[in-house]
Amino acid sequence: MTAPPAARHPLTAPTFTRRFSSTPLGARMARHEALNQLHAWGIRYGSEESERAAVVVAELAANAVTHGRVPGRDFELRLSLPTGSLRIEITDTRAERLPPGPGAVRQARPLAEEGRGLLLVDALADRWEVQDRAQPGKTVLAEIDLPRWLSLVKRIPERRPPKRRGTGGAARPCTP
């Protein structure tokens, strides 16, 4: 008897990366695009994981626009599904304004109009951190555990390079 073949898992995590303008509209678009991508990966709209991710992306994108903005520079959203979790990364180009990391976020004053974003990230993400970049800027990375990760990854089609079409022969004109 032979053993059944091992389950095939992707060697690289499914990834989505997109740049957005460092404006309030760019922050809203990042949240919208993130939710669409999560839905395409099988993390349905309105699920607990989707709702948590929506708030984390919204807060980190708003921080990138408000505190990490460099005129003429975009911020980047990167989503991936490493083993067992959803990873959310927001990268901006301002290096001199690093946010406090996990455990260093202070409570906002009761009537303050700002200062709650990272508290929400801290409450909703299972893990998060601030990373310096080799280029000017920083990345705030947050992870949300996905109990159904394996079933999600099994449904995502393998990414294969596009087939190349031959270029031999002359082009033929289109005829009706």
* pLDDT tens string 16-56: 999 999 999 999 999 999 999 999 999 999 999 999 999 99
Gyration radius of the chain over CA positions: 20
* Range scoring the smallest mean pLDDT among 17-21, 161-165, 168-172: 168-172
* Distance, CA of 85 to chain centre: 12
DSSP readout, 16-78?
EEEEE-SSHHHHHHHHHHHHHHHHHTT--TTSHHHHHHHHHHHHHHHHHHHTS--TT--EEEE
115 pLDDT exceeds 80? no
Evaluate if residue 81 carries a pLDDT over 80. Answer: yes
For residue 135, count other CB atoms closer than 10 A to its CB.
8
Q: What is the pLDDT of residue 3?
A: 46
What tokens does 115 get?
A: 């200062």
pLDDT of residue 154: 79
pLDDT of 77 reads 97
The two tokens of residue 160 are 């294969």
- pLDDT for 113 equals 57
- Asked if the model's pLDDT at residue 167 lies above 80, the reply is no
Per-residue pLDDT for 166 more than 80?
A: no
HSE-CB for 123 with a 13 A CA cutoff = 10
